[in-house]
Amino acid sequence: MLSDAVNGPWALIVMALLVFGDAFLVLVPGEIAVTALGALSTSTGAPPLWAVIVSAAAAAACGDLLCYGIGRWVGIDRWRWMRAERLQRAQRWARGRLEAGTAVVLFTARFIPFARLAINLVAGATRIPIARYVGLVALAATGWASYQAAIGALFAAMIPDAPIVSVLVSVVVAIGLGALIDLVIRRRARRQKPVAANVTSD
């Protein structure tokens, strides 16, 4: 039954929609969907792992670029949800990180709640050249999709002939790794704040 459910285009379409929605709604389980399909791809042979990665990367890039477009042509404070305190803090963080370096922050922002949305909105609002941004977003999306799918594929290879178990284990590990990366990035950001403050005051 599980093999039949993922053998066809619908599994990839649903995953792509979840990944696309994850660009706007942090509660949408885009990462989980990619990891789960990566595990199922290795366990059942369908869908192909390359198709999982390509579909996830394309959906992630489209979501990021749509957020960039909203920031560029609508702004970052027109609608009420944009003025939420948590998103405002994320936008201030995003502005500082974009000034420091665009490429690195696009990769790291995917592991921090609200950061992905804030980075793309602020990038559009500050009018980072779209040609450059498209290339960076494509690279970041491909790297992220490959990482998420590889986690699922790895645990499916370690736990053969048990697709449901491999999906559950890989999803739990992916969530744990995401939380760990989030924690490390946040701690590094906190350590850098006093240094930046001292440089500014000098």
**For the chain, which residues make up each domain, given as ranges?**
2-201
Quote the pLDDT of residue 52: 93
Give the 3-state secondary structure of residue 101.
Answer: coil
Please tell me the distance from the alpha carbon of residue 120 to that of residue 198, in angstroms, as a whole number. Answer: 29
Quick: pLDDT tens for 98-142: 655 666 677 777 766 677 777 888 878 777 788 878 888 888 889
| Cis previous bond, 47, omega within 30 | yes
CB 123 within 8 Å of CB 157: no
Per-residue pLDDT tens digits of the chain, which is 202 residues long: 555 555 667 889 999 999 999 887 777 778 888 988 988 888 888 889 999 999 999 999 999 999 888 888 876 666 565 566 666 666 666 666 665 566 667 777 776 667 777 788 887 877 778 887 888 888 888 988 998 899 888 888 887 766 667 667 777 776 676 666 656 655 665 665 543 444 344 4
Please tell me the distance from the alpha carbon of residue 37 to that of residue 119, in angstroms, as a whole number. Answer: 27
166-183 core/surface letters (b: 16 or more CB in 10 A; e: else): bbebbbeebeebbeeeee
Q: Is the dihedral of CA 99, 102, 108, 114 positive or negative?
A: positive
User: Residue type for 4, please?
Assistant: D
The pTM of the full predicted model, rounded to 2 decimals, is: 0.75
Tell me which residue has tokens 């992905």: 116
